[in-house]
Amino acid sequence: MKWNEYWVETFAIGLIILGFVLAILLTNSAAIYITATLAGFIAARVFYFRRFKEPIFPFIIIIIGFLIGYVVGSFSANRFITLTIFVLAYTGSYYLHKKKIIVIFKSENFLK
């Protein structure tokens, strides 16, 4: 197996499984919604910092892989609400990064 050719698929499948298992282990719907919010924030941060440096499509596949696994595994919560919360957190985090309200830790403007 050539790692250089299949790393995206490997990570996507791994994150599908991780998202599914994480959602199954969380039996409280509030915990599922909180985790979806945190995952949305982290996914937007990864996307924002990688968008101009590297090809972005592999990271989109990986993020969608986690999201699919997480939404499918969230049996004790409403899947539509989980998906909506993830998308809203992703959009909000991306906006905050784009407007430089949240910045990278090593930047000059980290402490505002």
Encode pLDDT of 1-30 as tens digits: 676 778 888 888 999 999 999 999 998 999
CB atoms closer than 10 angstroms to residue 36:
28
Cα separation values, 104 from 8, 28, 45, 54, Å: 25, 32, 9, 17
pLDDT of residue 65: 92
**What residue type is assigned to position 71 of the chain?**
V
Q: For residue 101, what pLDDT is reported?
A: 82
The per-residue pLDDT for 111 is: 45
- Residue in 61, 91, 99 with CA at minimum distance from that of residue 69: 61
Bigger pLDDT: 31 or 109? 31
Residue 112 — pLDDT band, cuts 50, 70, 90?
very low
Residue 72: half-sphere exposure toward Cβ, Cα within 13 Å? 13
For residues 1 and 13, give the distance between their C-alpha atoms in angstroms, rounded to a whole number.
Answer: 15
If one compares 76 and 85, the residue with the highest pLDDT of the two is 85
